[in-house]
Copies of this chain bind each other. A is one copy, B any other.
Amino acid sequence: MDSEKSYFITAEEAPAPLTATAEGRVRFQEVDAMGIVWHGHYASFFEQGRIAFGDRYGMSYQEFRRQRTPAPIVRYHCDYKRPLPFDSYYTVETCLHWNDAARLDFSYIIRSSGREVCATGYTVQLFTDKDGEICLLLPEWLLSFRRYWQRGDWRQGPWRAMEEA
């Protein structure tokens, strides 16, 4: 995929995607016998992206747990463009795309310190109830999250602080 293109098609009137950026440095045990990051470790980089996203928008893993709304990944995709060598710095730009359904559509761009695109990808998460069954309705707290997203006013920080105010 070209990094300009999007993995998700959203309606024209949908709110613009929300983005966050994480930074990392390639660890020694993340590189393979060729001295570059093993392709499987990008899942960990995407995960760092979602963590940074959660930090910024009050949507942390702990929040999902507190709300008892597990959101397992049901689809994972990665396109590799350029290798990342040992000890190099990288950024993960994470982007949540609007979707009316009860799911989370994240896309990712991993760039080297020289701003070259090294990999792009996406994940899809659904929601499950306590028996592991797929939920067709978005959990209440994420409906609230979406209202803030729709209003487009994130200036005062994470939505939860705003909600409480």
Chain B CB within 8 A of A21 CB: no
A61 touches B76 (CB 8 A): no
One of B76, B80, B83 near A39 (C-beta < 8 A): B76
Contact of A19 with B by CB under 8 A: no
A41 partner residues in chain B, CB cutoff 8 A: 29, 40
The count of residues in chain A whose C-beta lies closer than 8 Å to any C-beta of chain B is: 36
List CB contacts (< 8 Å) of A62-76 with chain B: 62, 70, 72-76
A60 CB–B CB distance under 8 Å: yes
Residues of the B chain whose Cβ atoms lie less than 8 Å from the Cβ of A61: 28, 86-87
A160 CB within 8 Å of chain B: no
Complex Cα distance A28/B22, Å? 15
| A40–B87 alpha-carbon span in the complex (Å) | 17
* Cα(A40)–Cα(B39), bound, Å: 10
User: Is the CB of A147 closer than 8 A to any CB of chain B?
Assistant: no
Interface string of A99-113 (1 = CB under 8 A from B): 000000000000000
For A33, the chain B residues whose CB sits under 8 A away are 28, 31-35, 86
When the two chains form their complex, are residues B47 and A60 in contact, meaning their CB atoms are under 8 A apart?
no
Judge whether A38 is part of the interface by a CB distance below 8 angstroms.
yes
> In the complex where A74-B79, A77-B77, A78-B76 touch, is A47 in contact with B29 (Cβ < 8 A)?
yes
A residues 38-67 touching B (CB-CB < 8 Å) = 38-44, 47-48, 51, 60-62
